[in-house]
Structure 1
Amino acid sequence: MGNEQSYETAVRRSNEIKADLAVHPQNYTMLTGDRPTGRLHLGHYFGTLKGRVELQNAGIATNVLIADYQVITDRDTTEHIQDNVLNLLIDYLACGIDPDRTMIYAHSAVPAANQLMLPFLSLVSEAELQRNPTVKAEMEASGHELTGLLLTYPVHQACDILFCKGNIVPVGRDQLPHIELTRLIARRFNNRYAKVFPEVDALLSETPLLPGLDGRKMSKSYGNAINLSMTAEETAQRIRKSQTDSERRITFDPEHRPGVSGLLSTAAICTGRSETEIAEEIGDAGAGQLKRYVTEAVNTYFEPIRARRREIEEDLDYVRDVIHEGNRRASKIAEATLQEVREAMGMVY
C-alpha cells in the first residue's frame, strides 16, 4: 500500500475511533509517553498533554510512559535524568493528569515489559527495522551512529504498547510506521503462538504543530520555546527577546515573516482566536504591542497550571509516591502479560 493511501486509511480509522470513544470508552486502552530529555514546553502541552487529559477525563484507560531507557538511544549520558523525570511528573500532574485514573510509570522500573523484546525481536527482520523512516530521521538528527537500541526502538515501543494491551496510541503522521510495526508484531505473535495481543490503531492528532517563537520548530536548543515550568516574568522575557522584523504592520505570513507568525500562532492557540484576527486587531501598533499581547495570552492561559505546579513542587515525596505506585501497577500488568506470552509459547516450566 502506498504511503498516501496508507495515511488515508489511518485517518479514516482514527476518525471512526474518535466517534466511538465517546460512546464506548471502556473498549479502549491508550498508551503514550515522553523521553525525559528536558523540560516540557507549550508545544508538548497543546500537542499531547491536553489531549491525554481529555482522554483520561472521558473514562478511557490511560497509561503514560516515562521512556527513560530511550534517552540512551542517542545520548551518551543520563546525567540529568533524575531531575528530568521528576519535572516531567510535576508537569503531568499540574496539567491535570490524575494518577488515580492514569498509570504513570518508567521503562527501567518494569523489567517484565522490557522482556517482551526477546520474543518480539524474533518476529521482525533486519530489513523491516532498517526501513523505518523515523529511526533514520532520529539517527541523522542526533549525529550518532546507529546503535542496536535505536535500531530496535520501534520494537521496544511495541512492548510499551502491547504489555498493557493498549489498542490506541495518539501520534502524529511521522509516527505511523511505529504503529504499523506494532500491529505487525501483534499479528505475527497471535498467528504463530496464540491470540494474546489486540489490534493497535493510531489516534491521529488534529492539533497543528505549534511553531516556536521564531517560526521554526519549537525546541529548547533553539531557545524559542516557553517551558511550562517558566514563571510569568521568564515567559515575558523570552517573548521580549524573540526575533521579529522591521515591518511595522502585523500580518500572518509564516513563510515570509516566521518570527511575527510564530508569535501570532502562540497567541491564537492560547486565546482560541485566529492568527489573522489577532494580526488585524494589532495592525500598525507593531511588534512591541504583539509581544505584549502574546505575553498576556500565554500567562493568562497557564496561570492555573503554574499555580498547581508550584504547589506540587513543594511536595516531592508525593511526586515520588506517584511514580512508585505507577511502577508497581505497571509491573503487575507486565508480569501477567509475560505469563500469557510464556504460556502461548509453551515456556512454562
Structure 2
Amino acid sequence: MTSADRTIEDAATDDAAVGDALAASTSDASLARTIARSAQIETEIDQDPSKFRVLTGDRPTGNLHLGHYFGTLRSRVLLQQRGVETFILIADYQVITDRDGVGPIRERVYSVLADYLAAGLDPEQTTIFTHSSVPALNQLMLPFLSLVTDSELRRNPTVKAEFEATSGRPMSGLLLTYPVHQAADILFCKANIVPVGKDQVPHLEQARLIARRFEERYGRADAGQPVFPAPDALLSEVTNLLGTDGTKMSKSKGNTIELGMDADTTAKILKKAVTDADRNITFDPVNRPEVSNLVLLAAMSSGRDPQEIAAQIGDGGGGTLKKVVTEAVNEHFAPIRARRAELAADQGYLESVLARGNARANEIADATLDEVRTAMQMTY
C-alpha cells in the first residue's frame, strides 16, 4: 500500500498505537518535550531569527484591552524586534463560529489594527491581514478536512471548551471545524512557530497532525521536504489579569480597560475596582486575588516587583492602591494612546496597511495552494 492509498482510519489507527495525539500532547512527558523544544527555539532565535516564521492573531470581537497587551501584544513586538518574520491574523471569519452575526466588524477590524500599530507592531516587518481577504487560505480547509475525523474534532480540547462556553447552544459546523481552520491559518504561510500558553498546546497539535497526514497521503519522495513544516510551540508565560470586578477579564463583561481609553476613563474604572476589607496591602494571589490583581497590574505597568509595590503601600488601603495603579497604567500607556489616536484619525493609512498585508498574505497563500494542488495531482 502506498502513502496515497492510506485512509483517515489508517492514520487514526497509527496514532492510536502511540496514544491519541491530542491527549498525548498534554501528557507530562510530551509537555516536558514541548518546554525543552521551546527553550531551544528561544536560543536559536537569538542565533538566527531568519529560520523562523510566526503566526498568531485575534478575533475582532471588540476593542483590545490591557489583558491582550500584557498577555500577547508585548511578546509579539519583542519577536518582531528580535528579527522573526511575523504574520498576524485578524480572524474576522472566526467571529461567526459562535455568533449569529458579525456586529460592527469593519469598525472592530480597524480598531484592532490601530491597537497593533500603537503597541509597536511595524507593518514593514510584520504582515497583518484578515481571513476574509485571503481566499486561498480558506480553500485549504477542504483538503485539510479530509485528513481528520469527526470524533477527533469533537475530542479536541479547544472545541469542547468553546462549546461549553456557549451554554448549550447547538454547535455550528464552523465551530466544530475551528481547529482545522486554525491549522489552515498556521500552515498556509508555513509558520514553524506559534506562540501559545501551555493550555493551548493541544490546539497546535491539530495543525501538526494535519501537516503530517498531508505528507503521508500526498507527499512526493522526490520533493526533498514536506509541503508543510510541523509547527512548534513557542511557550509563553501568560499573565492572567483578572477583570476589575475580580472575575475573568472579558470584553463581554465590561470589566476591562481598553488600550484606547483615555486617562480619565481609566481612573473612573479603576476607582470602582473590587478590593477587600483589609487595609494592609499584600501581594497574595491565592488568598487575596482582587487586591493582588491590582498590585500586579501596577507592577507590569511600571516594571517593578509586585511585592515591592505592596510593601510600599502598606496599610494605605484600597484607595491608595487604586491611586498607584491608575498612575502606573496611565503613565505607561500615555504614548501608546497618543499614537493610537493619531492612527485612528488617519483611516487612509490604516486601510493602506491592511491592503498591503492582505496582498502579501494572498501572494503566499496562492503559492501554497498551488503546491497543495500539485501534490494532490489537481493541476489541470
TM-score by length of 1: 0.97
Offset from partner CA, 1:70-105 (integer Å, 9 cap, x none): 000111111211111010000001001111111110
Mean alpha-carbon deviation: is it higher for 162-171 or for 221-230? 221-230
Please say if 1:172 is aligned against 2:172. no
Could you tell me which residue of structure 1 aligns to residue 178 of structure 2? 153
Distance, in Å, in 2 between the alignment partners of 1:253 and 1:57 is: 34
Gaps of 5+ in 2: 1-23, 220-225
Offset from partner CA, 1:145-195 (integer Å, 9 cap, x none): 211101110000010001101000001122111111101110111121122
Offset from partner CA, 1:269-323 (integer Å, 9 cap, x none): 1122222211111011111111010000001111111111011111011101111
Offset from partner CA, 1:6-61 (integer Å, 9 cap, x none): 22211111111011111110100100000000010111011111111111111111
| CA drift at 1:215 | 3.5
8 Å CA contact 1:214, 1:260 repeated in 2: no
List aligned pairs for 1:306-345, cutoff 5 A: 306-345=337-376
The share of aligned pairs that are identical, in percent, is 59
Gaps of 5+ in 1: none
Please say if 1:79 is aligned against 2:103. yes
Could you tell me which residue of structure 1 aligns to residue 265 of structure 2? 234
List aligned pairs for 1:1-349, cutoff 5 A: 1=24, 3-143=27-167, 144-194=169-219, 195-349=226-380
| CA drift at 1:257 | 2.4
| CA drift at 1:254 | 2.4
* AA at the equivalent of 1:271: S
8 Å CA contact 1:215, 1:254 repeated in 2: no
8 Å CA contact 1:216, 1:258 repeated in 2: no
| CA drift at 1:211 | 2.4
| CA drift at 1:5 | 2.1
| CA drift at 1:117 | 0.5
8 Å CA contact 1:36, 1:81 repeated in 2: yes
* AA at the equivalent of 1:182: A
SS in 2 for 1:22: helix
8 Å CA contact 1:215, 1:259 repeated in 2: yes
Offset from partner CA, 1:304-348 (integer Å, 9 cap, x none): 111110111110111011111111111111011000000011000
Distance, in Å, in 1 between the alignment partners of 2:290 and 2:84 is: 39
| CA drift at 1:4 | 2.2
SS in 1 for 2:334: helix
SS in 2 for 1:142: coil
SS in 1 for 2:55: strand
8 Å CA contact 1:30, 1:169 repeated in 2: yes
Offset from partner CA, 1:205-229 (integer Å, 9 cap, x none): 1232222234322112333211101
Distance, in Å, in 1 between the alignment partners of 2:154 and 2:337 is: 42
* AA at the equivalent of 1:325: R
SS in 2 for 1:217: coil
SS in 2 for 1:21: helix
8 Å CA contact 1:252, 1:276 repeated in 2: yes
Q: State how many pairs are aligned.
A: 349
Mean alpha-carbon deviation: is it higher for 104-113 or for 237-246? 237-246
SS in 1 for 2:47: coil
